[in-house]
Structure 1
Amino acid sequence: MTALDDLPIRDDLRGQRPYGAPQALVPVALNVNENTHPIPEVVAHDIVASLASAVLTVNRYPDREFTELREALAVYLGHGVTPEQMWAGNGSNEVLQHILQAFGGPGRSLLGFTPTYSMYPLLAAGVGTRWIPATRDAEFELSPETAARQVAEADPDLVFLCSPNNPTGTPLSLETITAVYEASRGMVIVDEAYAEFAPDDEASALTLLEGRPRLIVSRTMSKAFAFAGVRLGYLAADPAVVDALRLVRLPYHLSALTQAAATAALRHADEMLAMVDDIRTQRDRLVVELGRLGYDPKRSGSNFVLFGGVADPHAAFEALFARGILIRDVGIPNHLRVTAGTEAETTSFLEALAAISPA
C-alpha cells in the first residue's frame, strides 16, 4: 500500500498533520464550539422553502457575485457596511484562505498571537506563507503595547487577531486592534467568529473599518446562527479588498443552495439569535461553577470556557468521555475547553466533572 511519504507532495507539507477535532456519537458533545440549540421550526420551514425554490434552478450556475446574500449580510452587520464591502465563502476558513491567497504566499508572512485558532498556521502553510507565533500577556490577555511591539519587530505581511480569541475566549479591545493596525504595513484581519456572544455594550471591530483600507473583519454563521453544517463565513472590508479576493476565488464557489439557505436564515436573524442570551447564561454559569469546583476558568466573551487547574487534562478528558461527555483538550498544559451548551447539557457536564474531580 502506498504511504503518504511515497508521493511527491510539497516538501513543506511533509510531516504535517491535518486539522481535526475528535468526532464521536455521545450524549453531550461540547468540544467544537457548535451552537447546540436547534434551529427554530418556523425558520427551518422558510429555509426549506427557499432550498426547494433554489433546487429548480440548479441546472444553471449560481450567481457568481451572490448579490442577494451580500445585500442581506450588509443589512445584518449594520455599521454603515455596504454590499460592495461584503465577501463570503464556504465557512470562515475559506474566507481566511482567500485572504492568504491574495495577500500571502511564498516570501510573505502571517503573525498571530498564540495560543490562538489552530487553523491559522495550517492555512498559512497551505499557501506557502511563513507563520510567526507571537506571544500574549499573562492570563492570555493582549495589551496594545505587547501586540504593537511584536508586530513592529516582526514586520509581517498579515496579522490575524482572533476576537474573542479561540481557544482561550479572551476578548480583544479596540485599542489593541488600532495599535496593531498602526504598527503594521500589511493586512490586519480581525476574526470575530464569536462576536455575537460578547457583551451587548462591547464594540465590534466593524466600527474601525472607515478609513482603514488594510483592515478586514471576518464573521461566521456557524456559531450564533447554529449554521455550522451549512458552511457560510463572510467578511467586511474596503471594496478594493473584495476586488482582490475575486482574483483567487474558484468560479461559482458558493452554491445556489448555500446562498438560498443563508439568505433565508438572515431574514430571521432575530429568531436565530434569540438563543444567544441562553448560551451566554450557560457560559457565565460555567465560569461560576468551575470556580466552585476548584478550577481556574478564564474570562470569556465567546460561547466556550477555557479552564485551568486540571492536573491531568488527558485523563480528565477520557474520564468525561467515558461518561458520555465530549469536551476539548486544546494542548495547553493543565487546561481544558468546554462549549456552553443547553442548560441540560451544561448540567450534565458539571455533574460529570464534579464526579471525577478530586475531593
Structure 2
Amino acid sequence: MTDTDRAAVSLDDLPLRDDLRGLQPYGAPQAPLPVALNVNENTHPVPDAVADEILDDIAVALQQVNRYPDREFTTLRASFAEYLGHGLDAQNMWAGNGSNEVLQHILQAFAGPGRTVFGFAPTYSMYPLLAQGTGARWAAGERQPDYTITAEDAAAQVAAADPDVVLLCTPNNPTGTPLGIDVVEAVYEAARGVVVVDEAYQEFAPREAPSALSLLEGRPRLAVSRTMSKAFAFAGARVGYLAADPVFIDALRLVRLPYHLSGLTQAAAVAALRNAPTMLAMVDEIVGQRERISATLEALGYAPHESWTNFVLFGGVSDPAATWRALYERGVLIRDVGIPGHLRVTAGTEAETTAFLDALASIGSAS
C-alpha cells in the first residue's frame, strides 16, 4: 500500500476516467412520501391472481438456481415475440435487466469511442449518460416549441449530424409527445448508422396508433425497444426487451455479459406475459387518470402538453422549484425535469391523482 492509497478519501483521489470526473450519478429523488408520482412507475400493483402464478413459476425456477440459467433465454424471447405479434419470432427478440441495459448493449455494440449518438432534445435523460458510459459523444437535435418533429426536419438534422446511433423516444419522455411513423422512416433513410425507436410507453398510446414494429421488415439497422416496467407494472423486476433483425441481435451477443438474465427473472417475466390481458387491464384506468390530470391542470390555469404516456408534462409554472417543494411538503412527490416553467407528474391511481390535484389546487393559481 502506497502513501497515496492511504490518503485516498474522495473520487478526486482515484484514477477515474477523465470524462467521468465531476459527474453525478443518475437518479430521481427518492423520499418516503404517501404519494410518489415522479418516476413514471405503474402505481397499480400486480393483480393477486397473476402474482400467485408468478410466484409458482419462480418457485420452480428456484429449484434449479444452483445452475446457470438459459443463456439465450429462449422461452422468454418466444413469449415476447408472441406478445408483440407483427410476424416476429424468438430470433427477432432480445432482453435485458430493464430497457436501459438493452440500450446499453446497443451502444456497446454500435457506439463507443470516436462515435456519435444522436437524439432530439429534450428526451430521456439516460441517453447522454449511456452514450458517455460507452465513451461515445452525445449530440442533441432540436424539436419544435411544442416538442413535435416533422419528418423533413428530422431527416435533415440526422443527415447533418451523421451519427452512428439515433435514439428516437416515442412517445417521448419527458414530454409525452408522439412521433409519427413517417418520422421514423425518414430518419432511417437519412441515417448511416443504426436507428433505435424506444417505445417504453407504447401501451399507453391510442390503440390505433401504429408501432415502429411495423417497419422492421427489410430494415436491418432498425430496432424497437420496449419495457415491462410501465404497462406491466414490473419496474422492480427490471425487464426490458427489443425487436430487430436476427443479425442485429447477433451483434448484441458480442457485448452482453454471460447469463445476464437470471433464471428467476426469466420465470417471472414469462408468467407475466402469459397473463398479458390481465396485466394490461390497468392501462385504461391509468389513461383515464392521465386525461383527468390534463383537464384539471388546464382548469387550474396550467398548460398540459399532449401525452401518449402514463405521465403529463405541464407548463405555466412560475417557479417550478417552489411548486415542487410545496407539493413535497403536502406529501406529494413529482418531477422537476429541468425544462423552464414546467413540471412532470405520473398518472397514478384515482386516489393518488386526487391527492396530487388537491395539493396543487391548494398551492395557488398558475402563472
TM-score with structure 2 setting the length: 0.97
User: How far apart are the structure 1 equivalents of 2:192 and 2:333?
Assistant: 42
Residues 98-125 of structure 1: CA deviation (Å, up to 9, x unaligned): 0000000001000010000000000000
Question: Which ranges of structure 2 fall in alignment gaps of 5 or more residues?
Answer: 1-7
Which residue of the other structure, out of 288, 291, 295, is the alignment partner of 2:302? 295
Q: Does 1:316 align with 2:316?
A: no
Shift of 1:5: 1.1
Q: Which runs of 4+ in 1 moved over 6 A?
A: none
What is the aligned partner in structure 2 of residue 79 from structure 1? 86
What is the aligned partner in structure 1 of residue 70 from structure 2? 63
Amino acid of the structure 1 residue aligned with 2:134: V
What is the aligned partner in structure 2 of residue 150 from structure 1? 157
Q: How many residues align?
A: 359
Is contact 1:144-1:176 (8 Å) kept?
Answer: yes
User: How far apart are the structure 1 equivalents of 2:173 and 2:223?
Assistant: 18
Amino acid of the structure 1 residue aligned with 2:18: D
What is the aligned partner in structure 1 of residue 146 from structure 2? 139
Amino acid of the structure 2 residue aligned with 1:116: T
Residues 222-263 of structure 1: CA deviation (Å, up to 9, x unaligned): 000000000000000000010000000000000000000000
What is the aligned partner in structure 1 of residue 348 from structure 2? 341
Q: Does 1:90 align with 2:97?
A: yes
The residue correspondences of 1:21-32 to structure 2 (distance < 5 A) are 21-32=28-39
SS in 2 for 1:71: helix
SS in 2 for 1:139: coil
- Percent of pairs with identical residues: 69
Residues 12-52 of structure 1: CA deviation (Å, up to 9, x unaligned): 11111111001111111000000000111000000000010
SS in 1 for 2:358: helix
Q: Does 1:200 align with 2:207?
A: yes
What is the aligned partner in structure 2 of residue 253 from structure 1? 260
Amino acid of the structure 2 residue aligned with 1:233: G
User: How far apart are the structure 1 equivalents of 2:210 and 2:256?
Assistant: 30
User: How far apart are the structure 1 equivalents of 2:346 and 2:204?
Assistant: 12
Is contact 1:137-1:146 (8 Å) kept?
Answer: no
User: How far apart are the structure 2 equivalents of 1:3 and 1:357?
Assistant: 44
Residues 109-149 of structure 1: CA deviation (Å, up to 9, x unaligned): 00010000000000000010100011101211111122111
Q: Does 1:167 align with 2:174?
A: yes
User: How far apart are the structure 1 equivalents of 2:237 and 2:145?
Assistant: 37
Shift of 1:358: 3.0
Which residue of the other structure, out of 118, 130, 133, is the alignment partner of 1:123? 130
User: How far apart are the structure 2 equivalents of 1:296 and 1:267?
Assistant: 40
Amino acid of the structure 1 residue aligned with 2:118: L
User: How far apart are the structure 1 equivalents of 2:18 and 2:226?
Assistant: 33
Amino acid of the structure 2 residue aligned with 1:63: D
Q: Does 1:326 align with 2:323?
A: no
User: How far apart are the structure 1 equivalents of 2:347 and 2:276?
Assistant: 21
User: How far apart are the structure 2 equivalents of 1:285 and 1:178?
Assistant: 33
Q: Does 1:186 align with 2:193?
A: yes
User: How far apart are the structure 2 equivalents of 1:18 and 1:96?
Assistant: 18
What is the aligned partner in structure 1 of residue 18 from structure 2? 11
